[in-house]
Structure 1
């Protein structure tokens, strides 16, 4: 592997630091007392520009800038909270005759990106910048690769930005260092997940864990990732959903359970799909999809206000101000298709649906049954138009093999999906708890699989056995956490809300992957 000139210089500096008797990768303990953000936000100063409340601080972080002025220097340290300026005087950090700590280490061998720790008092410069006057200096870690140097002029113009998406996603560790705004997206993600957990715990739900590695992939219509269990000598699958296991727990006597789950679907990748994604699903006994719509409105309003830090339940996405305060519009699927296309699919058989799809220029293939055709029509002509939170309700039975039949509308089921800003972020059912009906639905899925539908569900005999022991009336829902975070943070790509999105392998030297 060829190293750049800068990398060679840094390795040479590493060797010279060791020659000085300084360990460039010392033991991890360092007594940090404050963060940059806290000092910048809270420092108070007397008439002499000395801080009255931060008389001694110990901070640590990366060296991000340095300006040498002979026997003194100004520099910038970046820690987990942000940046702060430091002032370093030769005679302060090297008070004796040996000035190597400043003259050699700080001035010559220290590189941008290196980790340092300092202790000193806080003061304010003549230009009004909060700074730390360093009394003690400690070297904490060498950076052997140069960080991208992102520069901002006095007018706010950015130069040499680390902005190439592929590089940013592959090297998220660099992205987070040089693009501070990126960290804010992930901090909001953490707040959102915490808010959901707080809301569900407050409703008395129990957080549980279910298997990721499964003998039968079920709970959704999706193509799984397949693997092999060597000891058992059987094929196994990464879960595509945790639904069937959570409903087993309802059978077992839990009234309300939830799980944050990592799911895996062996499908395409684009701006709204990653093969590995995070979902939250919860199931509540003795409730139906109407109750779940009410609960969803309350939960989303709560978490958006929590993330925003006040009473504001709105977010900006793609130029739209989206209001998560309920109530949301509730629109049956057939009515939605008629509203946006003028076509009435109510009662249409497969041949009639194919004719409607042809008129609407929707591409189909021979493997698609009635449910898939309706789904394609809806996806092509309705989904993108649903900007404000909208519940699409009452799906055709063919689209929902795990859902209870509608109590008053033949051919439909009690299901809704929540669409916001043209994307589906939640899916909910009045859960099917009739084991005989469920077996018939699974058998219909097998027929679709025989026609070539590789997303059709297999029959899960153990789940059917669980239903035969009896499951109470239950409402369930699943949210896509990644898409919800996209909305809250105003991101247009799912890759922006995943620390490490799936990428094609990098090409090795010589062009081979």
Structure 2
């Protein structure tokens, strides 16, 4: 059953559907099948027609237009009627009079249903009530809507129904379209930002024999011809860094990522990221780019740096805070890991504030530091904050800090306790990289199915030599959530993953 208002019973709904199908049958028998039409010369659009309207002297006819769209309302009043036409730019009122369109066309129009796709010709005028409208001289049914739209005043409110039937959601909740317009403009803005800085956009495989580049559980599929299991990519990092080795010094990819993990307001099994890599740069360069992309996007798309998200007022004015993880844990959790060097002492300090290490994690200083940050600090980061210098245990692809070999040159960007970006000074030492891959493989053997797999071809690439490189991944869905004040990732993905209805 289609998405209809709760007030409409199943019996009444079925009767409405039957009436519409009977109307279609009548049209087809009369040789007027609307589904046989192949095109319509749509030349004018609601928003532009209204914006460019100029009143003409009495006795003169206004601008002629040819428009098409969905009929969203109809008010029949004897020999003249009003209707609302919605096209891709908005709504415009139609004035349909029997003496202008002809008796047969007018009678046919009176049988049109809300939701039908129609085409009209006419001229633009202003009604006595002051509304810019189209005085229709020709009207034609272009496509028949066989299912009634949700009831006008109640609309499609159920979130599950909205996400499952996004096409209905877009019809009856036009404000939803604005979210996806912002998404499209943000991606375009990001492309322009990177292209202007000399980056090349590329495409890398979605299907891989090894799932690498992130700590995540992959989707597994089977290639029949090769008779091998393959993984849908969990990141684009390793192929892109191979291109850095190959001499493409600035490279990025905007694409879909797939992770076989839980679903919540911030996570969908398939989501969109941008990953970018720049030779002869480091994670400080990536911080500048992350800040530049988001702050300039807010200014260009929203007109200012102030946004509201998840009930908080966020200031995206450039100059975001940069804080090491050690300093963040000291400030927000009260433990100074900078004064601790012993593994057992670090784990004990974490346990003293109720922080437990994951079962598969070794009881080390680095794992204790990260657990304290993850469980006690992240939720407190509201304004844009770069958390830097992550433990090597949780950063298998990152270059160690020259000042402290327990840490890596990595940052994550947090806004409103949400991770927005992750970046490294990329590890380019193939010997160190192999050792870290081996440790990750040992974690997998202990039951951590999110640990990195050992990628021999990537190690071979590093052995040919990769320059010092800065790299970053940024979640596009979460950026759009921020820019549109959306509380769940499903609001910014046109077709989010849904559990099937039995």
Fold shared by both chains (TM-score > 0.5): yes
Structure 1 residue 226, shift from structure 2 partner: 0.6
Which runs of structure 2 are paired with 1:166-185 in the superposition (5 Å)? 166-185=160-179
Deviations 1:455-511 (A, max 9, x none): 00010000000000000000000000000000000001000000000000011xxxx
Structure 1 residue 169, shift from structure 2 partner: 0.3
| 1:386 to 1:49, Cα distance in 2 relative to 1, 3 A | farther
Contact kept in structure 1, 2:333 and 2:372, CA below 8 Å: no
SS, match of residue 36 in structure 2: coil
SS, match of residue 439 in structure 2: helix
Structure 1 residue 305, shift from structure 2 partner: 1.5
Which runs of structure 2 are paired with 1:120-269 in the superposition (5 Å)? 120-151=122-153, 160-269=154-263
Partner of 1:107: 110
- How far apart, in 1, do the equivalents of 2:342 and 2:207 lie? 38
- How far apart, in 1, do the equivalents of 2:408 and 2:220 lie? 31
Partner of 2:42: 32
Matched, 1:339 2:323: no
| 1:50 to 1:143, Cα distance in 2 relative to 1, 3 A | farther
Contact kept in structure 2, 1:114 and 1:141, CA below 8 Å: yes
Contact kept in structure 2, 1:205 and 1:257, CA below 8 Å: yes
Instruction: Decide which of 318, 327, 330 is 2:322's aligned counterpart.
Output: 330
Out of 436-445 and 32-41, give the one that drifted further: 32-41
- How far apart, in 2, do the equivalents of 1:171 and 1:58 lie? 30
Structure 1 residue 172, shift from structure 2 partner: 0.4
Structure 1 residue 337, shift from structure 2 partner: 1.3
Which runs of structure 2 are paired with 1:285-304 in the superposition (5 Å)? 285-304=279-298
Matched, 1:316 2:311: no
SS, match of residue 438 in structure 2: helix
Structure 1 residue 49, shift from structure 2 partner: 9.5
Contact kept in structure 2, 1:88 and 1:134, CA below 8 Å: yes
Partner of 1:42: 52
Structure 1 residue 379, shift from structure 2 partner: 2.5
Out of 30-39 and 192-201, give the one that drifted further: 30-39
Contact kept in structure 2, 1:50 and 1:124, CA below 8 Å: no
Instruction: Decide which of 354, 358, 369 is 2:351's aligned counterpart.
Output: 358
Matched, 1:21 2:38: no
Unpaired segments ≥5 residues, structure 1: 152-159, 508-513
Structure 1 residue 320, shift from structure 2 partner: 2.4
Matched, 1:485 2:480: yes
- How far apart, in 1, do the equivalents of 2:388 and 2:472 lie? 13
Deviations 1:207-242 (A, max 9, x none): 000000000000000000011111111110000000
- How far apart, in 1, do the equivalents of 2:342 and 2:143 lie? 69
Contact kept in structure 1, 2:370 and 2:391, CA below 8 Å: no
TM-score (norm 2): 0.94
Contact kept in structure 2, 1:10 and 1:144, CA below 8 Å: yes
- How far apart, in 2, do the equivalents of 1:49 and 1:385 lie? 67
- How far apart, in 1, do the equivalents of 2:199 and 2:61 lie? 48
Partner of 2:405: 410
Out of 320-329 and 4-13, give the one that drifted further: 320-329
Structure 1 residue 364, shift from structure 2 partner: 4.5
| 1:393 to 1:231, Cα distance in 2 relative to 1, 3 A | same
Partner of 2:442: 447
| 1:28 to 1:359, Cα distance in 2 relative to 1, 3 A | farther
Contact kept in structure 1, 2:426 and 2:470, CA below 8 Å: yes
Out of 275-284 and 338-347, give the one that drifted further: 338-347
Return structure 1 stretches of 4+ with deviation > 6 angstroms. none
- How far apart, in 2, do the equivalents of 1:161 and 1:363 lie? 47
- Give RMSD over aligned pairs: 1.7
Structure 1 residue 353, shift from structure 2 partner: 4.6
Contact kept in structure 2, 1:314 and 1:322, CA below 8 Å: yes
Out of 297-306 and 328-337, give the one that drifted further: 297-306
